[in-house]
Structure 1
Amino acid sequence: MQLSRNQIQTLSLIAVSILANITLSGGRVAASLFVLRHGGSAALAGIAYSTYSLIPAILSLLIGRWIDHVGPRRVMRSSQAAMIIGLLAPALLPSISTVFLCALVCGFGFAGYLLAANVAVSMMPFAHPGERVGMLGWLAMGGSAAGAFGPMVVGFAIDRGGFAAAYAAMAVIVGASLLLSFCVDVPGGVGGMVKAPGKGGSSVVRDVFSNPRLLRIYLLAMVVSMGYDGFAFMTPVLGEERGFSATTIGMIMSCFAAGTFCMGALLPWLSRHLTEWRMMTIAFGTTAAVFMLLPLAYSGYLQGALGFVFGFAAGAGQPNILSLIYRAMPDKAGEGAGLRSMMGNTVGMTAPSVYGAVAGLFGAVPVFIGVGCVAAIASWQSHLGWKSRARLTASAASER
């Protein structure tokens, strides 16, 4: 089988991304463990974990605008350099303050890298719009692989050489990703997207909130984040209520990761048969069903099976959202993706607190039912988006 140029570029970018993703997947584990093992409370460890999302929640829109002006390739490499600098601080002088500084800098660097990588793939010339979804799905597979691989590498390094060695190892790995980016065909030249730069600081925000179709896309992106965080945060809580072992809970989470990986692998085929809106309608409907069924599943194996199904559905969310954003505003793709990232990270910082408060008062079941209801509404809204798109296509065809 001969690969197309787009596929070769995406595979090259996946290789770079797997190494760069270590910063987030491994860094969060290292930060939490460092705080806990150096006298910090569980609450402080949670803050260290969440600090990686602080800068993306505040600055993703500006990072996206930066991508639009200078091009994704330059932003990717600048972000990789920032991650290396952040990781060297606790590697050379391990302390709680440098661990938090690393979390801030690496959170910024990883957000810039991920946004730029997604925009680089979105900018590729595709013969069929559905191919963009497939390649974005392939890129997400790299993140899934790093999510499973990163904590293992960091845990091994901590056990063998301590935290300084673990942060040094992550710096070396990200350094390897930076060097690799100069050796492979990474898409996204340095020219930037200067066709129609935004006028004023809130151009995309103004566009989104003045256009109901665009606003629907961004609200659905927030539901994708709600689902991810709801499952990741509440599955251990539900498992504790049911008396599951840590091994069983870990197995359930691994099944979810396997589901997202499988969806990423299949997206190039699915995108040739289903539009973005159609896929999201099915994915949100499946998510709603899984969240309604999880409280009824008292077997760890059954919850693992449901976790795989949810992962399979959730894996379709972000690639389709990003594809719709690029199609709606190709000249502001970076800023548009940045707004999505900012909204998603804001949900990631606030939703677990809300879930935890509700679970503390009423148990885990109401949280799962609530998220399931929101996902059902999102499925209905995706169906309306599909119908709206079909009407626009039919109208354009009749005018021709």
Structure 2
Amino acid sequence: MSPFQLPAGELARLVLAQLFVNACVTGLRMAMPLQSLRLGHGEAAVGGLIALFALAQVFLALPAGRYCERSGLKRPVAMAVVVATAACAMAAAWPVLPVLCASALLTGGAGGVVIIAVQRHVPRAAGEAASLRQAFSWLAISLALSNVLGPLMAGFLIDSAGIRVALLGLAPLPLLAWLAVRGAVDHASPLHEAPTSERSVRDLWRHAGLRRLLLLTGLLSCCWDVHTFLVPVLGHERGVPASVIGSILGAFGIGAAAVRLLAPLVAAQLREWAVLLGAMVATALLFAVYPLVQAPLAMGLCSALLGCSLGSTQPMVMSLLHRLAPQHRYGEAVAMRVIVNNASSVGIPLVSGAAGSLVGAAGVFWAAGVLAAAGARLALPLKDH
């Protein structure tokens, strides 16, 4: 038995499932905008394409959360794997904008279902509240590593074999996720505990601490999405090869993974609100500097530092979310977090694409930095929870 009161093999299955599915999503999110730019589409079209990865999750999150409460882990993951694999194959066969848009919707929705299923599964499998922060840290590490694996894999495949091979090469990743999760033990909620009404969603939102946490995590997601959107655009404008753009985005994932590797070791000493406050301040400072650097190496360093800053927050957010949400409605609370995050992921690329045409990428970075600095005060009242 591991320190999480969760068998090491069980935790590894969940980590790998999240890693492989999200690596597929992040790889496509890096490759598809480059293909769109190469086809001659502008920044607004690229922003719309990236937004579609999140749009499906906005509408699917609550039904997916309730479905996971009824069905457990493996059935939702299996459905998501089929959808993501088919979407990769479809994009590889017809890499034109309408098909890329459809594939973005499908893979984004599939990735969201897997995240909800896995993160809802952990508290029921672990069973000990005191150790959940450590378990969530390992899940956060898997998401960070997926932000390394996906863009690097897509970038090198594009440069070496072309866009079709890159899109098709990402298709086996969801299948690996299914192989990882097959041996897991499901933990479905009793039927009488499953949330069944829209009223329950409004009641959860009325909880002041939960609402503040959801707003803060949505703001963090905005910062993440600004970076994900602008790096390929900046790289394309400066003539940076796809593999280097992938490496810059991969540096973000390395930074996030590195800081999350430390989290399980010092979880007992960390205060969630303090980590969130520090991350917001550091993000604001990095966004002020990022547009001023030109060399790919310097961009990679800023990306890695930003990954450290934003990557430190997810275990803290999930720990607070589990503490603030009613136990039998935790799957729904996770779904609400997914909705808030992906509402930002829909809006930010669209706004960034339009704003970038008016004020340039630097202006968008600086505006996001001001937003991060202003939002840091949301973390202060969370010290009472």
TM-score band w.r.t. shorter chain: 0.7 to 0.9
Structure 1: distance between partners of 2:290 and 2:95: 41
Aligned ranges 1:337-352 → 2 under 5 Å: 337-352=334-349
2:172 matched residue in structure 1: 172
Structure 2: distance between partners of 1:87 and 1:363: 32
| Partner of residue 276 from structure 1, selected from 254, 261, 272 | 272
Tell me if structure 2 keeps the 8 A contact 1:88–1:168: yes
What TM-score, normalized to structure 2? 0.83
SS of 1:124's partner is helix
Task: Work out whether 1:327 is the aligned partner of 2:328.
Answer: no
Aligned ranges 1:27-106 → 2 under 5 Å: 27-32=28-33, 35=36, 39=39, 41-42=41-42, 43-90=44-91, 97-106=98-107
2:311 matched residue in structure 1: 315
Change (3 A) 1:323 1:204: farther
1:370 matched residue in structure 2: 367
Q: Deviations over 1:248-293 (max 9, x none)?
A: 8766544322210111111112321013223212222322333344
Structure 2: distance between partners of 1:104 and 1:250: 22
SS of 1:192's partner is coil
Percentage of pairs with the same residue: 24
| Partner of residue 281 from structure 2, selected from 275, 279, 285 | 285
Structure 2: distance between partners of 1:358 and 1:87: 30
Change (3 A) 1:340 1:159: same
Q: CA deviation at 1:347?
A: 0.8
Shifted more, 74-83 versus 120-129: the winner is: 120-129
Task: Work out whether 1:221 is the aligned partner of 2:222.
Answer: no
Structure 2: distance between partners of 1:152 and 1:138: 21
Q: CA deviation at 1:24?
A: 0.7
Please tell me whether Structure 1 or Structure 2 has the larger radius of gyration of its CA atoms.
1
Shifted more, 326-335 versus 361-370: the winner is: 361-370
5+ residue gaps, structure 1, are 390-400
Aligned ranges 1:180-199 → 2 under 5 Å: 180-182=180-182, 184=183, 186=184, 189-192=186-189, 194=191, 196-199=193-196
One-letter amino acid of the counterpart of residue 345, structure 2: G
Structure 2: distance between partners of 1:116 and 1:374: 31
Structure 2: distance between partners of 1:48 and 1:297: 27
5+ residue gaps, structure 2, are none
Change (3 A) 1:75 1:193: farther
Q: CA deviation at 1:304?
A: 4.4
Structure 2: distance between partners of 1:158 and 1:239: 15
One-letter amino acid of the counterpart of residue 52, structure 2: T
Structure 2: distance between partners of 1:48 and 1:240: 16
Tell me if structure 2 keeps the 8 A contact 1:67–1:335: no
Structure 1: distance between partners of 2:32 and 2:353: 21
1:230 matched residue in structure 2: 226
What is the aligned residue count? 381
Structure 2: distance between partners of 1:360 and 1:36: 14
Task: Work out whether 1:381 is the aligned partner of 2:368.
Answer: no
Structure 1: distance between partners of 2:360 and 2:165: 40
Change (3 A) 1:281 1:5: same
SS of 1:41's partner is coil
SS of 1:272's partner is helix
The CA RMSD measured in Å over matched residues stands at 3.4
Shifted more, 108-117 versus 296-305: the winner is: 296-305
1:137 matched residue in structure 2: 137
Structure 1: distance between partners of 2:98 and 2:354: 29
Structure 1: distance between partners of 2:275 and 2:173: 35
Change (3 A) 1:172 1:228: closer
One-letter amino acid of the counterpart of residue 133, structure 2: V
Change (3 A) 1:126 1:79: same
Structure 2: distance between partners of 1:310 and 1:150: 18
Structure 1: distance between partners of 2:247 and 2:164: 30
Q: Deviations over 1:162-202 (max 9, x none)?
A: 666555443333223223322x4x35x15236463324124
Structure 2: distance between partners of 1:136 and 1:57: 22
Shifted more, 47-56 versus 192-201: the winner is: 192-201
One-letter amino acid of the counterpart of residue 314, structure 1: L
SS of 2:347's partner is helix
One-letter amino acid of the counterpart of residue 264, structure 1: R
SS of 1:123's partner is helix
Change (3 A) 1:156 1:369: closer
One-letter amino acid of the counterpart of residue 219, structure 1: L
Tell me if structure 2 keeps the 8 A contact 1:284–1:376: yes
